Each structure stands twice: as structure tokens, then as C-alpha cells.
Chain A
């Protein structure tokens, strides 16, 4: 059973509009959440993270929202740019320092159309 779910395998958005990528998790022990971005033929790269003591974390055009009661988080990209086209992985861990315990979601492929 998947502990981290990304129910949309793909998403298409017009350049300049908002991209919203969703993620749900089932394990209430998760305390730290990460988003990774992956281009074809490259490894995932860390994008942004959030601790469970917060409900929002912002970094430039990227904002992650966490709703712990709903076990749901989302990544907002505003405004979306063609260079944002990639696969986005949501990930969760019981502790910020426990990278060996990180569980990844299956990914959402984002296409930003010029």
C-alpha cells in the first residue's frame, strides 16, 4: 500500500498560470515533507520542504502548503514557466534527519505550455 500518493500522473498548464500539484499521505508519523523535481535523464533535485509545525513554506515562485489534519500537501508554482516542465516527486519522512526513512510518491509529470 502506497504511503505517499500523487493521484495525478500528469498535469498540463499554460505558461504564466498557476500549477498546483497535490500529494496525500497515510502515515500519521510523517513529520517532514519534501518536493523533488526531475528532468529527463537526470536525477531528482531537491526543490522545497516543509516541517509539520508549519502550514506553508515559500521559496520564490514555489510554495508548499501542508494540511496535517487532512494528510494532504500541495505545491504551487506561480507563475508557471516552460522550464518548470518536469516530473515532481512528493516525499515524506518521520524526521527531518532521516533520509533513509524518506518515502517517495510516484510522481506527477508537469507540462507547461508556452
Chain B
């Protein structure tokens, strides 16, 4: 299996632009998580999907952030408009049932 796939791996954009991060979970996994890692706050959960349905989005920092999971094999995290404080590494993770999570390699976002 290819593991969790994230794209792009690096994104540099200017303040005010829309940013879309993509994730393909491991086939057969029914839960998907978006995390953000920063120096100040460490690794924090943004949103969690189960069977493509958003279960808990309490970690989404602001309305500028939105996430979708249109099907079992694809999810997006969108930031519109982006701000410099959104600069971080964004991880996607998936799991099946109650087994361990598998993380993707992350997307390093820089907002200038």
C-alpha cells in the first residue's frame, strides 16, 4: 500500500490567496484526521471525519478554514483567505476501526 498521500508537499503563497491541501487516505480506512503542527502549539487536531462525515471540527481555528471529504478516498483542507500565521505543517492521518493511525508526510505551508 502507498500509505497516506498528501499534496502538495510544499506550498508557498501570498497572504490573501486561497490554499487547498489534499489527502488520499489508505484504502479501506474509514476515519480521516487533519492536524496542524507549529512550533508554538505542537501537533493539534483540526477536524476528524468518520465514514466521510465530519464528526468534530472544533479544532478548526477560524471560518477561513474548511474541510471536505466527498468520498472515501479523498479529502481537502482549504484556507481562504490565507494569512502568515497559517504557516505550518499540515498532516493528514487515517485509520480503520480502532487500529492505529497512519500519518501522511505532511504539507509544509508558507504564507508570505
Chain B residues with CB under 8 Å of A13's CB are: none
B residues in contact with A43, CB < 8 Å: 4, 91, 93, 102-106
Contact digits for B21-60, partner A, Cβ 8 Å, 1 yes 0 no: 0000000000101000000001111001000000110000
A106 within 8 A of B: yes
Chain A residue total in the interface (Cβ 8 A)? 17
Shortest beta-carbon distance from B59 to chain A in Å: 9
A104 within 8 A of B: yes
Contact A96 B42 (CB under 8 A): no
The 10 closest A-B pairs by CB, nearest first: A43-B103, A104-B43, A106-B42, A100-B48, A97-B98, A46-B100, A44-B103, A43-B104, A43-B105, A43-B91
| Residues of B bordering A, CB below 8 Å | 4, 31, 33, 42-45, 48, 55-56, 91, 93, 95, 98, 100-106
15 contacts between A and B (CB under 8 A): A2-B42, A41-B106, A42-B106, A43-B104, A43-B106, A44-B91, A45-B103, A46-B100, A46-B101, A99-B31, A99-B33, A99-B48, A102-B45, A105-B42, A107-B42
